[in-house]
Amino acid sequence: MADGGGEGAPARIGAYVLERRLGSGGMGVVHLARTVAGRQVAIKVIRREYAESEDFRARFRREVAAARRVSGAFTAPVVDADPDGDPPWLATLYVPGGSLTERIDREGPLTAREAARVGAELAEALLDIHRCGLVHRDLKPGNVLLAEDGVRVIDFGISRALADSHRLTEDGAVLGSPPFMAPEQLTGDGEATEAADVFALGAVVAYAVTGHSPFEAGRLPGGDPLAVAYRVVHEEPDLDDVPDSLRGLVSLCLAKDPEQRPEVSAVLRMAAFADTRAQAAVVRSSQVWQAGRQERDTGERGGANESASDRTPTAPGRRPRRLGRRLALTAVALATVGVVATVGLLNATGDDGGTEQPSAEGPADPAPDEAPAPFVPWEVDLYDWGIEDAATSGVRCEPAPERGVLCSAAGRLTIMLNEDGSERWLHRGPRDGVLGPGATLVDGAVITQSETGLAALDPDDGEPLWEIDAPELGHILAVGERALALRNGDSTVRFYAVDSPEPLGRWEVPGRYVTDLLSGGDRFLAVSREDESGFAPQMTLLSSAGAPVWPTPVPPPAEALGTLHPVGMDADAAYFEEWDADIPVINRVHRLDLTSRAWTSVELPEPTEPRTVMADGVIYASTMGGTVIAVDPAAGEVLWTVATAVETASLPAAVDGVLYLSDAEGALHRLSAADGSPLDTGEPHPGSPGIGSGGSAPPPAIGDGVAYVPTLGNTLYATPLNEAD
């Protein structure tokens, strides 16, 4: 580091030339700097008087580690850092526009609509932060930068790992900014979890729209921090200046009890619609809102029974989620998206006409002489479990007989819902899992991702039964009658018994990549390629112990010009779709006979998206525009083509001679698998599409007389098939 002389700022930090001072905080000074090529960065330099303190150096190392782990549209990415330098420093991408504090000092408070947008963007930033296992703990207007394309959350100086119970304090002092700190941070009575960041978000939104903290006396920023801290802990916030359209959202976030604050994902949904007076009025008049207000005012608990997930260990630092916060209020016809978004927010313990909440174990068995209770349709919001967009999060559901429905999000989250839509149990996979294998029911167990590989969970309570150590687990998992097969590493497939972690064998293909696995009966088909891009595929049939069945691998059919991707497999054949070499559309489908190793190919009458399904030897290709093509690849012919009226069609599901697919509004459509003729259409379930979703909804899951339908609006609903509503 080169000094500029005297007490002035150094001319250079590392490889960066300092241009001017941007500001300062409790730990250091922030400078605008540039690289040799001219790119601007913001460099935070630890104050020299603190840099020699091991406590502050440890805190700064935490900041660097935290900031490196967080990425998202509304956080500032780390460019470079030297936490062990003299002095230590951290460089992030420079965000022009200044902080929220500077904007309000310069131009006054934001409008309600602007503040609602800031609240939504902050909620999305917190989702990214919490997904990394961190709590920010110092969200305040000065740490919110206003870029042209949205906010940027900065300064992870006192954030910490959720699993770390060590409190970062010095000589008993609590770190943070009292006007934006949660009561539990100030009193030290509880761990600072994600709920503390929700409290801060509410205070920041109130500040954005009024120009002052709801706990600052005289409605002026500043003042005695001890007096402000006292009001945060003991007094209700002053929200008189907060517009009606935002007051409900802010009030929810500022609940004294962290258990009564909404999840960040719910705040994101509320902020998205909380900029109109009419929608806010509907929210506050709903039973959900009134019940929550009554509970907060009286301090009463109760009403909703605990779910199984509340009795089982949760991630360290994560507050348990109560069943009442996720119960679908199916008896109430909620009039707007605003109310629907609020259903999962509050513990519905107010006057509900005496309706008994279902227990975590699911509905009680009827008495011997009583008829089973009729099925009641329900709908839940996937945001309540942190799923931001069903269309892009790898959501898949399957019926769980005698229990309800099992859903997962690419292995990162697995949840069992009871028949009434209440949560039976919840399992979170590895935080860094990306597009892993989804959960599935196998021989009395739920197989899903774990921190070490795969875990078998008890389907009744989610308790672990056994685990498979697979440190290089990929996204590939196939389940047969006697074995399950998984890819561990690029070129190795392991085989295990379906009911235990007993290893049965392994198969390796050195120098190639295993890209796909299919199962049919007690055999598996492995597809390997020269590289991960998909060239030169070879198909190898394997036994349940991993022994090759064929003497040599089978290449693709000669007429295939594009890339083959598997669709499914039965005891007789494996089925593939052929992608165009240049764009992701399907031109042909292929069938590989497992006995003769002969290919049968059928050209489609028109291209479709890569979204085919197979059932009873028939392949169904479809488009998001609603066209469905049925192909019999064994006979080498197209059976029928139908242009339905379904817009933004989901991936289809084919069960017992019926095709099921949902549309952009979440309505369930049923078609005859014999000829594609429409059978019936259910009612819309629009929800609110996830941010950035441009795909189609996952396929419906069809149980015994019930359809479980994930929607493009990021909800999941259950409807009886005889009514399809």
Active-site positions? Answer: 138
Cα–Cα distance for residue pair 379/421, rounded to 1 Å: 7
> In 3-state terms, what secondary structure has residue 60?
helix
Residue 283's alpha-carbon distances to 215, 261, 426, 534, in angstroms, are 24, 16, 28, 51
Residue pair 630/678 in contact by the 8 Å Cβ criterion? no
Q: Which burial class, exposed, middle or buried, applies to 652 when counting CB atoms under 10 A from its CB (0-12, 13-18, 19+)? A: buried
Cα–Cα distance for residue pair 462/459, rounded to 1 Å: 6
Q: List 239's β-bridge partners, or say none.
A: none
Cα–Cα distance for residue pair 408/395, rounded to 1 Å: 6
Residues 6+ apart with CB under 8 A from 105: none
Q: For 211-354, where are the alpha helices, taking DSSP H only?
A: 225-234, 244-253, 264-273, 277-285, 287-298, 308-311, 337-342
> In 3-state terms, what secondary structure has residue 388?
coil
Residues 6+ apart with CB under 8 A from 650: 661, 662, 663, 696, 697, 698, 699, 700, 710, 712
Cα–Cα distance for residue pair 179/254, rounded to 1 Å: 11
Tell me which H or E stretch contains 106: helix 100-107
- Residue type present at position 159: S
Q: List 678's β-bridge partners, or say none.
A: 671
Q: List 668's β-bridge partners, or say none.
A: 662
Write down the residue that tokens 């921190």 correspond to.
451
Cα–Cα distance for residue pair 121/127, rounded to 1 Å: 10
Residue 608 Cα to chain centre, angstroms: 28
Cα–Cα distance for residue pair 663/627, rounded to 1 Å: 12
Q: For residue 481, which of 527, 442, 453 has the smallest C-alpha distance?
A: 442
Residue pair 535/521 in contact by the 8 Å Cβ criterion? no
